[in-house]
């Protein structure tokens, strides 16, 4: 009897355990949030592109250049000599003014020293500086995704604000290899 009790306990233990089962999710996401977000961003981009094209059309005296990076610019002062342009790690000193797309001034006559691609700077300005030579001045029009995008600068520039920046590259100090 004792053997039968032990045998039945062992059999019961062996067959009562089963492997863990995966739990099914309580709700299934269809991806509708991502689709809506992508659609909203496309509309925002189209609106900003139209605003920028309107600015370009209203200023036919300026020779606007479309950059490969998705912003537009023209030279206020162009240096024709073959001089250096900023490279990774170079220290640049530049002066800039920032306004919104309607021309409302946000930051005026700000001078900054920046180590190329090693410090924080919004994408458009970082890419724009690489196009300039010392003593050149250019005016850049950045769509919001090339400026501060969704977050703004947490001070004066709000969410999704396209910017116009006039930038003068004062000096370039090349890095020592």
The backbone torsions φ and ψ at residue 141, rounded to the nearest 5 degrees and listed phi first, read: -115, 115
Judge contact between 166 and 97, C-beta under 8 A.
yes
Contacts of residue 127, Cβ cutoff 8 Å, sequence gap at least 6: 67, 69, 71, 146
Question: pTM of whole model > 0.85?
Answer: no
Specify the CATH architecture of the domain 64-173. Roll (3.10)
Cβ–Cβ < 8 Å for 71, 128: yes
Over the chain (177 residues), what is each successive 10-residue block's mean pLDDT?
A: 65 62 67 83 91 93 93 94 88 96 92 93 94 96 91 85 96 83
Which DSSP string corresponds to 101-141? Answer: TT--EEEEEEEEEEETTTS---HHHHHHHTT--TT-EEEEE
79-129 pLDDT, tens digit per residue, is 988 788 999 999 999 999 999 999 999 999 999 999 999 988 999 999 999
């Amino acid at each position: 009897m004792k053997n039968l009790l032990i045998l039945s306990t062992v059999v019961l233990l062996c067959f009562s355990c089963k492997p863990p089962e995966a739990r099914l999710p309580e709700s299934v996401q269809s991806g509708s949030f991502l689709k809506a977000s992508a659609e909203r961003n496309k509309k925002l981009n189209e609106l900003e592109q139209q605003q920028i094209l309107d600015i370009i059309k209203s200023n036919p005296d300026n020779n606007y250049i479309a950059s490969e990076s998705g912003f537009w610019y023209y030279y206020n002062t162009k240096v024709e000599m073959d001089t250096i342009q900023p490279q990774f790690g170079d220290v640049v000193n530049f002066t800039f003014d920032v306004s919104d797309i309607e021309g409302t001034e946000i930051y005026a006559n700000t001078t900054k020293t920046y180590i190329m691609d090693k410090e924080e700077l919004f994408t458009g300005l970082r890419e724009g500086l690489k196009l300039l030579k010392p003593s050149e001045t250019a005016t850049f029009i950045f769509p919001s995704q090339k400026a501060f995008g969704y977050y703004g600068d947490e001070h004066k520039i709000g969410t999704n604000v396209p910017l116009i920046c006039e930038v003068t590259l004062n000096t370039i100090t090349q890095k020592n290899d």
